[in-house]
Structure 1
Amino acid sequence: MFLPAAVFMTVGDCANDGYGRSCVMFGSVLAALIGVAGSGYCFIVSALALNKGPYCLTSLGWMYPFQDSNGRYLTDPDSWFVCLSPAHVVVWNVTLFSILLVLSGMEVIICVIQVINALLSCLCGSCCSKENYSMNA
């Protein structure tokens, strides 16, 4: 949170000096790239957590019982009874990391669109903003 906050504070300072719109768009691109990095990290961690499965108590002790299944346990709910404690830990794990996976994937898409939008606005906006329009032709 500190890095995006610093970017947005810097963007506010840039808008007040002579650079104006291009500095604000650069700050927007930088913040969106930070968003892509953060959401990409969340996406990877969620995918790996779903693949590995939860840490739970089994008849053999505390372990990752689905670690070597390559995520096949996700399609076989009958195997979830291997986890004795905590109750419903597999359902909790699958639900939590599936939601995080979907939301981080959406965030990556939104941030990439923002990067493209800000870059196009920065590049095309600077050439179009210098034109003078007059009603007296």
Structure 2
Amino acid sequence: MPCSQTCSRILGLGLGTTALFAAGANVLLLFPNWEVSYLLRGLVGRHALLGSGLWGGGLMVLAGATLVSLMGWRRGCLSKSGPCRTVLVALVSSGLALLGAVSCFITAGMALKDGPFCMFDVSSFNQTRAWKYGYPFRDLHGRNYLYDRSLWTSVCLEPARAVLWHVALFSCLLCASLVQALLVALHLVNSFLGLLCGLCGRLP
């Protein structure tokens, strides 16, 4: 049991850290190149505005991490919890954190697939020099901007380094959500092992 509680403390800390990391990455996505003007003018992509790194990989995972930590420290209502309550709290905390991680993972994956929201030249379509904001990489047939880095500076005109900002931060969200899912799985295994050890220790 002490070993299981120590693992819960470590897992809770890990989940809490990744939750803060995901929330921070999502906040940065709202301010391309550290500028507030794009958000004020409504020129931020829908994936960033969806905020899954804030409410999903951030708040929901942080709530789950708090429950996991309480299990480890045996504080509050968990100070003298029985096996049934322990299993219930483990399932609730794991489900909450996993749901947040999955929502963050899906949004980050879709964002990387669609590419950044930026201003690009549409003159090749209507033969006149014109610029507009949109998702230029969604219409590129046969070319994947993630592998063709020559497109990173030639397609998006504004914000500067829009592709790098987009790819780096959404990749961070993708990795953070994967780590969160792994920690949730470890938490479930740890909880059930702790439950089995506790039940075995009560046997005469």
Q: What is the TM-score when the length of structure 1 is the normalising length? A: 0.78
Alignment of 1:50-69 (within 5 A): 50-60=112-122, 61-69=132-140
Structure 1: runs of 5+ lacking an equivalent: 133-137
Matched, 1:23 2:85: yes
Q: What is the TM-score when the length of structure 2 is the normalising length? A: 0.55
Matched, 1:12 2:69: no
Matched, 1:117 2:190: yes
Matched, 1:45 2:116: no
Per-residue CA deviation, residues 20-72 of structure 1 (Å, 9 max, x unaligned), is 35423431332122111111111111111000000100113111001144881
RMSD, aligned α-carbons: 2.7
Partner of 2:161: 88
The answer on whether the counterparts of 1:15 and 1:24 sit within 8 Å (CA) in structure 2 is no
Partner of 1:74: 146
Residues 38 and 126 of structure 1, relative CA distance in 2, 3 Å threshold: same
The answer on whether the counterparts of 1:39 and 1:107 sit within 8 Å (CA) in structure 2 is yes
Q: Which has the larger radius of gyration?
A: 1
Structure 2: runs of 5+ lacking an equivalent: 1-58, 123-131
Separation in 2 of the partners of 1:69 and 1:36?
34
